[in-house]
Every structure is written in structure tokens, then in C-alpha cells.
């Protein structure tokens, strides 16, 4: 690894700075969501649609993917090829399960009459969660690429920084979801059952 | 491909010679070449934006003029603003970031050379996409801040606003990527001993501006995405009939737009903070305070966006808070002014071109700063908003400040980049003509504005007392154009002159002057060790003996492939889904090609 002034690898610092930038991106989306909450003038409204128990399950799945990510990094750093492959794949798969839940949810909402341009809730909801979903998608593609590298035996401990940087991204996307889950779902006034 | 690989080897290993030819520029990842590309593109768009301004002034020279139609006039002032801010000033500053910062910190390149090339190509794609709107049914015409709901498909039915959204999305992403790169470069690639409090001010301000860019552009990006969805998919973000609030756009825009003005001015402040000590032969007065005030300006700059919105009616408490914070910014800015003056005080001053433009900045920015404090006061602003008074203010800070600062940088670093000095006599004529031209153009606008002349109207009736001011402004614009022609003449002539500048023609103190002009591909044969601020003045540089082993990065065409794919995807939003998908596929393939290509 190249010498750096701070001792922090360049790639890692790049990811941290990028995450700082992303905070403003999601911050703007969340601020807009909050500013427009409850201001739709036609239904269906959020409290009629949001299904907290269902999303709690997919949220749990996404959080578990973060745990798998930690285990994957640890396996790569240890030089454990079996663990690397297993946990990278599991992280990506759990991300895919989360995305499947989102597709199901979006479909269901559309079926209930919530088109993209239906009301203020539809626009803010689809764009905010959709943006997050796009980030998860990118993460899944990234993880599967790393997994393919691991399958071909090209992801030894000397490449662990690649996994660490991907992990930073993945954990950040998870943290954003925790905020979205709180702001959009838990604070929505939708009934718990 | 064989040629590229051969070029890779001659560029990297031999160290010192560049491969020639167009392909070597297309695939270059060298920070100096990318800096030159950025600068020349910025200069080109500076001329385009200047041409737009000349047409605007021609139309306004006399009342009831018919040179331009109202529609064309609207397109021109919109594109003038966008071009100057995003495609002229920012890339010219980025050119200096690219070329100078790695040299000033004693690095061989930026932290991510290919990402740097990608930033440039993506910026160019965004600029071309936006400007192509002139040929596809008309440019955007809702002003550079594009207030909702003037921009809805009802009130802006053509494709102009779509070009705005897509072009700026690409340019914004390019800026963010470049800024991320410079943050890592400056924090991580400093030469041994070059602590933060020894960094040249230009590098410092590049770092501050990079943080501003990565934090300010995302809200604007979100705003443009909302607008895109409103226009293309019928969402209601800015649609009052559906409960949407057009003021949301103003907030998202100005949370970006106000930091943006510091993104434009702080590089210029950095340049003059390097130039004034050099030409006063004195270290910068109060170095830490100049650094801290730059950081403070940037920090406060995020808390004042609503002073652009006093006439919206946010209420007395919000208006008072934003008024007060805005006035506070005058303090760190004033501190810098006094530091520059104190640097000159008692120095042995050489009035060479870079120094003239730096002093020009100090004087002109002060005028613009004073009118800025005037409309920081909400009640005064209500009289001034949307009049030519604001146009006068913003041109004093952006033209008198940023452009003068950039010219100081051009004259200062031209010998480093080319090995040649720009002609001093033409430079002096350029300076004085530009100073006279800009004051004649913009000073009367203060009066026109206070007499009630509104911005952004394509003509005005006779008999309201605007005629004299406007004619003076147009004459002034003509003088400015003449000054620019002198500059271009000087630029071309000097490029053909003999390379006699030498490594350090100005006897300056910072690291970029420790290497030859122009520098070799690898910048420094051995990485210098720095033991003081102003290293070249105080024996603050040690060159370790012996050979140093290093590898320069290979050229790569993948950055251009990815940028081209993204351009195709963006154009697909206007042309059709298949094009967009194809573009996305090209970009994705490019990212894979890039990721698995060896760097060295």
C-alpha cells in the first residue's frame, strides 16, 4: 500500500468523504419528505398504506446483511476463502431479499391506486425509498462482483481493503434505511398491525 | 491499443517525456494535462458566456431595442449565468486545482488519476449536453436559478429545462467526483513535513472549496431530480395545484446556490494569497488567520441561503436571522482584505501582472462586498431584489473578484505551465482596460437598479431615466471585450515565444516553483521534504539524496467510456428508453473495464 500523510488508505478516505456527500443527498430527500408529510390533498394517504410489520421484517433482513458484511470482511482479512465466499454471497442475497420486499411494496401501493404522480406522499415516498433502493442495488452488484472475485480465488487478505470500502458503503446504506424506517414508517401514524 | 500501452511505458517509466498525439490526450490521466484540458475548456466557455453577455448588452444599449426577441433574450441571460458559473469559472479554477495543487504539496499526481480524468470528461459531457439545447428547440430560459413553477411543463413547454436538468446533473456529479479526489489528495498526499499549517493558501482554499462542493451540490441534484420527475412523470413536488410548494425549489437551489458563490470566490482568494506575498517579498501577514477566515466563510456560507429569498415572505424571524448571519460573513472577508493589505505594507512591491490583478481583486471585491452587506439587510433588499442593483453587486464580486483572481493566477502560473512568460506590456494594457471596462459596465447598474430597472426584462421604455446608464454599460462591455482580445493575443503570442522563464521566474516561495517549468511527468525527481512555511525562501526544503523509485499511472480510455455512457444515458431521457439503457450498459461495462485494469 502507498504511503499516505495520515496513514489512512486513500480509498477509505474517498469513501468517507463520499458518505459525507451522500448525507446531504439523503438529507435533502428526508427534509422534503418531512416538509410534505400530511400535505397530500387526495388519497390514498400514508397511514392507510404503510405496512409496518412487513417492513420491519425486511428491515431486519437488511440489518442482518450488515452483520454478514462484518463477517465477510473478517473472513477476507483472515484469509479464509470459504468464509469470504459464503458471507459475501449471504450479504448480497439478504440485500436482494430486501429489494424484493421493496418491489413487492411498490407494486402493492400502485395496485392500491398510488401512482407516482398521485399525491405528495407518492412522489416523496417513491423517490426517497427508491433512491435508497438504487443504492442497495449498486451495493448488491458490487458485493456480487467481490463474490465472483472470491470464487476465482482473487480475493486474498492483500485485497481486504476492497472489501472494507464496500463494507463502509453497505453499512452506510443500512444506516440510511434505519433513518428512513423511523421517519417514514414508525412516525407515519399507520397502525402497527 | 498497442500505441496506448507503448505510450504508457514511455510516459511512466522514462519519466520526463510525454507521448504526443490526440490519443495520448484522450487517454491521459496526468494531472497537469487534465488541468490544461480543464482550463482550455473553461476559457472556451468563458468566451461563449462573454459572447452571450455582449448580445445582452447590445439589446439593452438603447430603449425599445429589437436586436433580440424576448424569448432569445431569456435564453441568453439564462445560459450566460449557467455558462459563467458552471462551465467557465469552475473549470478554470479546476484547471488550477489540477495543475498546481499536486505540485504545491510535492505529490506526483492526484490520489485517483483515472477518476480525475473521468471528472473532466463528465464535466465536458454536461457542458456540451446543456449547450446543445440551442440546436434542439431552444436553451432553458427560466434564469440560472430556474424558479419553480416557471419551470413546469406548463410554463416551460419546450425541452430547454430538460437540458438544464440533465446537463447540470452531469456537471454537478463531475464536480463532486473531482472534489472528493482533491480532498483525499490534499489530506493524504502531502510531502513529508508539509503540515496543514505549512500548506500554501491556494491549496488550503482548494481543500475548503472541495468540501463546499461535496456538501452543496447534492441538495441541488435532488432539486433537479424532483423537477425532472415533475416534468416527465407528473409528480407534484413544485405543483401548487397538487399541494406542492414552489418555495421548496428555492430552498434546495439556494442551499446549493449560496455556497456556490464561495466555491467561485475562494479559489481566487487562494490565488491572491499566494501572489501578494510573492510580489511584496514578504510572507503572508497572519497566515493562520487567513486560513481560519477562509474556513469560517465556507462554514457561514451554508447558513445564509435564505437571504436570496427575503421577498418570499418567510417571516420576520427567519429574515432577521438570515440577515444577521449574512452580515457576519463580512467579518472574515474583511479580515482577509486587511491581511492582504498588511502583507503589502512595508513590502518591496513589484507591480507585475499577477500583482496588478490581485490588487484589482482587493479593490473590486471590496466594492462588491459593501453592496452585499447592503442587501444583507432584509428591508433594503426588498427595494433592491430583482433589480440591476443585484446584477451590479454580483458582477463586482464575480467579475471584479473571481475573474480578476483567476487572471492573477493565469499570469502567475503561465510560466510554470508553459515555460514562457506572458508579455508584460500587453498584460498591463489588459489589466487597465479590463478594470475600466468592468467599472463602466457594472457601476452604472447600481443606479439603474436603485432607479427601479428590473433584471431579466428584454427591453425598457424611454423616458424612465435608464438610457444613460444602459448605454454606459454597453460601452463598458465593449471595452471589456477589447481587453479580452488583448489577452488572447498575448496568450497566443507568448505561447510562440522562447521558453526562457526558468523554474522560478517570480522568486516565489512555494513548492511548485522548486521543479522545472514545465515540470516533468513525475513532477519531482525525489519527493521534497519540507521544514517550514514558504520553503523556497527559508531553506525550508530538503531533497533526500539518491534515486527514488516510483511508478506513474498508465493512460486509460475507460474514464471517457464511462463518461460517454453516462452522457448517452442522460440523452436517452430525451431520446428514448433504449438509448438510455444502452448508455447505462456502456457506463457499467466501462466501470468494470476500469476496475480490472492495472493502474501501473
The model's pLDDT over A137-191, given as tens digits with 9 standing for 90+, comes to 999 999 999 999 999 999 999 999 999 999 999 999 999 999 999 999 999 877 6
Give the three cell numbers for residue A139: 451495493
- Same domain membership, residue B580 and residue B469: no
Contact B242/A25, CB-based, under 8 Å? no
Cα dist. B510→B101, B274, B353, B378 in Å?
A: 11, 8, 19, 43
Residue pairs spanning A and B at CB distance below 8 A: 101
Contact A21/B112, CB-based, under 8 Å? no
- Start-to-end CA span in chain A (Å): 53
Kindly give the confidence (pLDDT) of every residue in chain B, 600 residues in length, as a single tens digit, with 9 standing for 90 and above: 333 333 343 344 444 578 888 999 999 999 999 999 999 999 999 999 999 999 999 999 999 999 999 999 999 999 999 999 999 999 999 999 999 999 999 999 999 999 999 999 999 999 999 999 999 989 999 999 999 989 999 999 999 999 999 999 999 999 999 999 999 999 999 999 999 999 999 999 999 999 999 999 999 999 999 999 999 999 999 999 999 999 999 999 999 999 999 999 999 999 999 999 999 999 999 999 999 999 999 999 999 999 999 999 999 999 999 999 999 999 999 999 999 999 999 999 999 999 999 999 999 999 999 999 999 999 999 999 999 999 999 999 999 999 999 999 999 999 999 999 999 999 999 999 999 999 999 999 999 999 999 999 999 999 999 999 999 999 999 999 999 999 999 999 999 999 899 999 999 999 999 999 999 999 999 999 999 999 999 888 888 877 788 888 999 999 999 999 999 999 999 999 999 999 999 999 999 999 998 877
Contact B237/A32, CB-based, under 8 Å? yes
- Number of domains observed in the structure of chain B: 2
Q: Is B236 within 8 Å of chain A by CB?
A: yes
Residue B82's contacts (CB-CB under 8 Å, 6 or more residues apart) are: B130, B140, B144, B164, B168
Q: What's the angle, vertex CA B480, arms to CA B479 and CA B482, rounded to 5?
A: 65
Give the three cell numbers for residue A150: 472470491
By Cβ distance, the residue of B189, B233, B242 closest to A4 is B189
Q: Which domain holds residue A149?
A: 50-186
CA of A98, closest CA in chain B: separation in Å?
23
Q: Give the nearest chain B residue to A3 (CA atoms).
A: B189
Contact A14/B216, CB-based, under 8 Å? no
Q: Is B598 within 8 Å of chain A by CB?
A: no
Q: Give the nearest chain A residue to B191 (CA atoms).
A: A5
Q: What residues in A contact B190, CB-CB < 8 Å?
A: 5
Q: Is A20 within 8 Å of chain B by CB?
A: yes
Q: What residues in A contact B110, CB-CB < 8 Å?
A: none
B64 torsion bin: left (phi>0), alpha (psi -120 to 50), beta (else):
left
Stretch 119-178 of chain A: residues touching chain B, C-beta under 8 Å: 119-120, 122-124, 127, 145
**What local confidence, expressed as pLDDT, does residue B2 receive?**
35
Q: Calculate the dihedral angle through the C-alpha atoms of B4, B6, B7, B11, rounding to the nearest 10 degrees.
A: 140
**What local confidence, expressed as pLDDT, does residue B9 receive?**
39
- Is the residue at A58 inside a domain? yes
Interface test with chain A among B173, B184, B254, B600, by most A beta carbons within 10 Å: B184
CA dist., res. A94 & res. A98, Å (int): 6
CA of A87, closest CA in chain B: separation in Å?
22
Q: Is the ipTM of this complex over 0.85?
A: yes
Q: What residues in B contact A27, CB-CB < 8 Å?
A: 218-219
- Same domain membership, residue B395 and residue B359: yes
- Is the residue at A192 inside a domain? no
- Same domain membership, residue B576 and residue B485: no
Contact A17/B180, CB-based, under 8 Å? yes
Phi first, then psi: give them for residue B107, nearest 5 degrees: -105, 165
- Same domain membership, residue B308 and residue B221: yes
Q: What residues in B contact A19, CB-CB < 8 Å?
A: none
Q: Which of B264, B208, B204, B231 is nearest to B82 (CA)?
A: B264
By Cβ distance, the residue of B188, B190, B243 closest to A8 is B188
Rg of chain B over CA atoms, in angstroms? 24
- Same domain membership, residue B569 and residue B420: no
**What local confidence, expressed as pLDDT, does residue B351 receive?**
97
- Number of domains observed in the structure of chain A: 1
Omega of the bond leading into B518 within 30 degrees of 0 (cis): yes
Q: Which domain holds residue B447?
A: 2-556
**What local confidence, expressed as pLDDT, does residue A192 receive?**
57
Q: What residues in B contact A149, CB-CB < 8 Å?
A: none
Q: Give the nearest chain B residue to A128 (CA atoms).
A: B222
- Same domain membership, residue B583 and residue B445: no
Q: What residues in A contact B242, CB-CB < 8 Å?
A: 41, 117, 119-120
DSSP B48-84: HHHHHHHHHHHHHSSTT--SS-HHHHHHHHHHHHHII
Q: What residues in B contact A137, CB-CB < 8 Å?
A: none
- Which of helix, strand or coil describes residue B355? helix
**What local confidence, expressed as pLDDT, does residue B4 receive?**
39
- Same domain membership, residue B403 and residue B532: yes
Contact B390, B384 (CB under 8 A): yes
Q: Give the nearest chain A residue to B212 (CA atoms).
A: A21
Contact B219/A22, CB-based, under 8 Å? no
Give the three cell numbers for residue A122: 407518492
Contact B180/A21, CB-based, under 8 Å? yes
Write down the H helix ranges in B110-191.
113-132, 160-188
By Cβ distance, the residue of A17, A36, A39 closest to B214 is A17
Contact A17/B248, CB-based, under 8 Å? no
Q: What residues in A contact B259, CB-CB < 8 Å?
A: none
Contact A116/B229, CB-based, under 8 Å? yes
CA dist., res. B275 & res. B280, Å (int): 9
By Cβ distance, the residue of A18, A29, A119 closest to B180 is A18
**What local confidence, expressed as pLDDT, does residue B16 receive?**
54
Contact A14/B181, CB-based, under 8 Å? yes
Contact A123/B237, CB-based, under 8 Å? yes
By Cβ distance, the residue of B180, B188, B218 closest to A28 is B218
- Same domain membership, residue B573 and residue B457: no
Contact A28, A21 (CB under 8 A): no
Contact B176/A122, CB-based, under 8 Å? no
- Same domain membership, residue B552 and residue B571: no
Omega of the bond leading into A124 within 30 degrees of 0 (cis): no
Residue B194 CB burial class (10 angstroms; 0-12, 13-18, ≥19): buried
For A3-59, the pLDDT digits (tens) are 799 999 999 999 999 999 999 999 999 999 999 999 999 989 999 999 999 999 999
- Same domain membership, residue B585 and residue B529: no
The sign of the torsion formed by the CA atoms of B175, B180, B185, B186 equals positive
- Same domain membership, residue B168 and residue B147: yes
Q: What residues in B contact A18, CB-CB < 8 Å?
A: 180, 214
Q: What residues in B contact A122, CB-CB < 8 Å?
A: 235
Q: Which of B219, B179, B195 is nearest to B93 (CA)?
A: B179
Q: Is B244 within 8 Å of chain A by CB?
A: yes
Q: Is B188 within 8 Å of chain A by CB?
A: yes
**What local confidence, expressed as pLDDT, does residue B183 receive?**
98
Q: What residues in B contact A145, CB-CB < 8 Å?
A: 592, 595
- Same domain membership, residue B481 and residue B514: yes
Amino acid at each position: 500500500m502507498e504511503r499516505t500523510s495520515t496513514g489512512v488508505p486513500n480509498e477509505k478516505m474517498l469513501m468517507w468523504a463520499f458518505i459525507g456527500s451522500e448525507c446531504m443527498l439523503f438529507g435533502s430527500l428526508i427534509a422534503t419528505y418531512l416538509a410534505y408529510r400530511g400535505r397530500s390533498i387526495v388519497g390514498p394517504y400514508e397511514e392507510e398504506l404503510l405496512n409496518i410489520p412487513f417492513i420491519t421484517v425486511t428491515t431486519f433482513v437488511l440489518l442482518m446483511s450488515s452483520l454478514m458484511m462484518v463477517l465477510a470482511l473478517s473472513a477476507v482479512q483472515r484469509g479464509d476463502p470459504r468464509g469470504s465466499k459464503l458471507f459475501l454471497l449471504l450479504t448480497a442475497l439478504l440485500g436482494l431479499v430486501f429489494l424484493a420486499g421493496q418491489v413487492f411494496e411498490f407494486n402493492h401501493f400502485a395496485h392500491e391506486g398510488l401512482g407516482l404522480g398521485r399525491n405528495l406522499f407518492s412522489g416523496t415516498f417513491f423517490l426517497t425509498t427508491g433512491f435508497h433502493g438504487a443504492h442497495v442495488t449498486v451495493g448488491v452488484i458490487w458485493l456480487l462482483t467481490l463474490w465472483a472475485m472470491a470464487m476465482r480465488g482473487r480475493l486474498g487478505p492483500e485485497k481486504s481493503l476492497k472489501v472494507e470500502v464496500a463494507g463502509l458503503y453497505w453499512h452506510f446504506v443500512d444506516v440510511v434505511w434505519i433513518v428512513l424506517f423511523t421517519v417514514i414508517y414508525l412516525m407515519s401514524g399507520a397502525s402497527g398491525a | 491499443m498497442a500505441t496506448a500501452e507503448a505510450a504508457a511505458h514511455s510516459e511512466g517509466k522514462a519519466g520526463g517525456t510525454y507521448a504526443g498525439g490526440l490519443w495520448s490526450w484522450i487517454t491521459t490521466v496526468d494531472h497537469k494535462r487534465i488541468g490544461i484540458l480543464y482550463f482550455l475548456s473553461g476559457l472556451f466557455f468563458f468566451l461563449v458566456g462573454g459572447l452571450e453577455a455582449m448580445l445582452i448588452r447590445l439589446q439593452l444599449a438603447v430603449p425599445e431595442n429589437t436586436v433580440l426577441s424576448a424569448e432569445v433574450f431569456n435564453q441568453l441571460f439564462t445560459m450566460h449565468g449557467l455558462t459563467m458559473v458552471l462551465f467557465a469559472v469552475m473549470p478554470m479554477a479546476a484547471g488550477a486545482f489540477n495543475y498546481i495543487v499536486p505540485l504545491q504539496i510535492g505529490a506526483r499526481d492526484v490520489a485517483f488519476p483515472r477518476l480525475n480524468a473521468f471528472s473532466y470528461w463528465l464535466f465536458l459531457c454536461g457542458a456540451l449536453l446543456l449547450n446543445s439545447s440551442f440546436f434542439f428547440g431552444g436553451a432553458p430560459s427560466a434564469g440560472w436559478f430556474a424558479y419553480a413553477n416557471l419551470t413546469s411543463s406548463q410554463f416551460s413547454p419546450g425541452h430547454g429545462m430538460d437540458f438544464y436538468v440533465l446537463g447540470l446533473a452531469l456537471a454537478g456529479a463531475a464536480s463532486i467526483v473531482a472534489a472528493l479526489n482533491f480532498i483525499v489528495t490534499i489530506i493524504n498526499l502531502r510531502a513529508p513535513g508539509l503540515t496543514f499549517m505549512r500548506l500554501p493558501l491556494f491549496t488550503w482554499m482548494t481543500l475548503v472549496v472541495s468540501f463546499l462542493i461535496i456538501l452543496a451540490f447534492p441538495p441541488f441534484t435532488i432539486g433537479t431530480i424532483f423537477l425532472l420527475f415533475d416534468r416527465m412523470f407528473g409528480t407534484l413536488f413544485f405543483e401548487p395545484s397538487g399541494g406542492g410548494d414552489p418555495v421548496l425549489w428555492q430552498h434546495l437551489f439556494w442551499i446549493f446556490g449560496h455556497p456556490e458563490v464561495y466555491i467561485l470566490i475562494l479559489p481566487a482568494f487562494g490565488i491572491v494569497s499566494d501572489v501578494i506575498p510573492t510580489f511584496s517579498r514578504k510572507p503572508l501577514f497572519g497566515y493562520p488567520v487567513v486560513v481560519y477566515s477562509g474556513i469560517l466563510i465556507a462554514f457561514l456560507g451554508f447558513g445564509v441561503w435564505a437571504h436570496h429569498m427575503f421577498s418570499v415572505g418567510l417571516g420576520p424571524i427567519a429574515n432577521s436571522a438570515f440577515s444577521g448571519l449574512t452580515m457576519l460573513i463580512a467579518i472574515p472577508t474583511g479580515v482577509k482584505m486587511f491581511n492582504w493589505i498588511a502583507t503589502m505594507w512595508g513590502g518591496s512591491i513589484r507591480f507585475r501582472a499577477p500583482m496588478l490583478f490581485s490588487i484589482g481583486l482587493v479593490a473590486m471585491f471590496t466594492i462588491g462586498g459593501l453592496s452585499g452587506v447592503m442587501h444583507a439587510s432584509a428591508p433594503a433588499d426588498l427595494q433592491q431584489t430583482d433589480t440591476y442593483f443585484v446584477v451590479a453587486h454580483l458582477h463586482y464580486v464575480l467579475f471584479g473578484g473571481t475573474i480578476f483572481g483567476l487572471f492573477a493566477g493565469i499570469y502567475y502560473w503561465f510560466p510554470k505551465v508553459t515555460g514562457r512568460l506572458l508579455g508584460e506590456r500587453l498584460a498591463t494594457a489588459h489589466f487597465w482596460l479590463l478594470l475600466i471596462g468592468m467599472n463602466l459596465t457594472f457601476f452604472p447598474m447600481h443606479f439603474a437598479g436603485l432607479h427601479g430597472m428590473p433584471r431579466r426584462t428584454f427591453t425598457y421604455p424611454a423616458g424612465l431615466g435608464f438610457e444613460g446608464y444602459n448605454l454606459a454599460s454597453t460601452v463598458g462591455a465593449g471595452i471589456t471585450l477589447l481587453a479580452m482580445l488583448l489577452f488572447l493575443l498575448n496568450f497566443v503570442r507568448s505561447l510562440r515565444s522562447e521558453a526562457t522563464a526558468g523554474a522560478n521566474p517570480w522568486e516565489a516561495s512555494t513548492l511548485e516553483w522548486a521543479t522545472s517549468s514545465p515540470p516533468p511527468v513525475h513532477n519531482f525527481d525525489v519527493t521534497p521534504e519540507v521544514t517550514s512555511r514558504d520553503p523556497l525562501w527559508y531553506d525550508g526544503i530538503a531533497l533526500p539524496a539518491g534515486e527514488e523509485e516510483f511508478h506513474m499511472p498508465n493512460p486509460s480510455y475507460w474514464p471517457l467510456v464511462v463518461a460517454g455512457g453516462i452522457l448517452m444515458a442522460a440523452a436517452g431521457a430525451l431520446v428514448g428508453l433504449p438509448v438510455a439503457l444502452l448508455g447505462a450498459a456502456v457506463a457499467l461495462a466501462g466501470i468494470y473495464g476500469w476496475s480490472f485494469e492495472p493502474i501501473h
